[in-house]
Amino acid sequence: MDKSEVYRDLIRHENELTNHRLSWFILMQAVLFAGLGTMWGKDVTPLLILSAVGFVVCIPFGYVLSLNDAAISSLLARWSKDCDNQESHPPLIGFDKAKFVWLLPWNSVPYIFGCTWIGILWLLCTRYQVGT
């Protein structure tokens, strides 16, 4: 097996992991938002719990998705170091020079959801004046 094929397979595997993790994360967030919408206007305690769970779930998913991005970057760096003649091989991925990497979905979506949950928690706390 050619060295470039090995690197492509490793990058493909990391890409599949990113896809699976992002899909499960979005599904989990959708279920939490559906529960929030169903219970909105009723007792505030379950709403606070759902919002807190929604926010807490964002933290490990954001971390793991950033690790996937770091793994792909590491593979690309190793490829450029290991490859003797890169001009004789097609690029491993289509485009790796993104200017705003933090805007890519697997980097930004956990933070967007996390900020949304913080906003909902703030809204619930100010609207219902929790703790008074």
Give how many domains the chain has, as a whole number: 1
- Per residue in 82-126, pLDDT (tens digit) is 776 666 666 666 665 666 666 677 778 999 999 999 999 999 988
- Per residue in 8-33, pLDDT (tens digit) is 899 899 999 999 999 999 999 999 99
- The 8 Å CB, 24+ separation contacts for 108-112 are 109/22, 109/25, 109/26, 109/65, 110/25, 110/58, 110/59, 110/61, 110/62, 110/65, 111/58, 111/62
Q: Is the pLDDT of residue 132 over 60?
A: no
Query: Domain containing 30: what range?
Result: 3-128
